[in-house]
Chains A and B, each alone.
Chain A
């Protein structure tokens, strides 16, 4: 399983963009990069995933470095409901989803 490094915590003001970084320098060539988030007292929730190209969906954007050793989850306008722990998880079928400590995002009103 590829090892990931994320900041322990980040803070953002409401309605401002947030860039959550993740280093995954040992990722294999076929691992997808998944991002999940966990709100307090809830199970994790899927956010986005990608392989090589940048990806957009209604929740967020995912920017993947050309060498795939890092990626950045972008929340375009943070809301109070985005306060959660965000996990980046390199994954390929047959592996386990390995959760690191993640980044705890606080959103200030």
Chain B
């Protein structure tokens, strides 16, 4: 099946710094990529949807100026957590789809990035 990678797999940073997470579709072109975060013992919560070449669509309650998303190519989307604080510590997961199969579309998920803000 298709492969989605994320980098880094885990990152520790100081409060106030910015962290960039990359999501790549390795063997297919992803017209749409999704970003989720998951707090311990909770389910995945959708943060935003990004389409290649256009602005991301953010879910209610997600600050677009804090979580900057760039989907510059059909194989790469980045999430930048700006001025990170301890409450931003979470497991961030991206997913990608080809956008060609309607409801049959399978989403391919990355392995996740664990962010710890000290």
Chain A residues in contact with chain B, CB under 8 A?
A: 30-32, 34, 36, 38, 41-46, 49, 51, 87, 91-93, 96-102
Contact = CB atoms under 8 A, between A and B. Distances in A.
A43 B43 contact: no
Interface in B63-97: 91, 93, 95
Given A96-B34, A102-B43, A43 B110 contact: yes
Nearest to A97: B107
Nearest to A30: B103
Interface of B: 1, 4, 6, 34, 36, 43-46, 49, 91, 93, 95, 99, 101-112, 114
B103 A97 contact: no
B111 A42 contact: yes
Contacts of B104: 32, 49, 51
- The dominant DSSP class at the A interface is loop
A44 B109 contact: yes
B109 A51 contact: no
A32 B105 CA distance: 9
Given A96-B49, A98-B46, A99-B43, A46 B106 contact: yes
Contacts of A102: 43
20 contacts: A32-B104, A36-B107, A36-B109, A41-B114, A42-B111, A42-B112, A43-B93, A43-B109, A44-B93, A49-B104, A87-B43, A91-B105, A92-B102, A93-B99, A93-B102, A97-B34, A97-B46, A97-B107, A98-B46, A99-B44
A91 B34 contact: no
Nearest to B2: A46
Contact of B95 (A32, A43, A98, A101): A43
A37 to B, nearest CB: 11
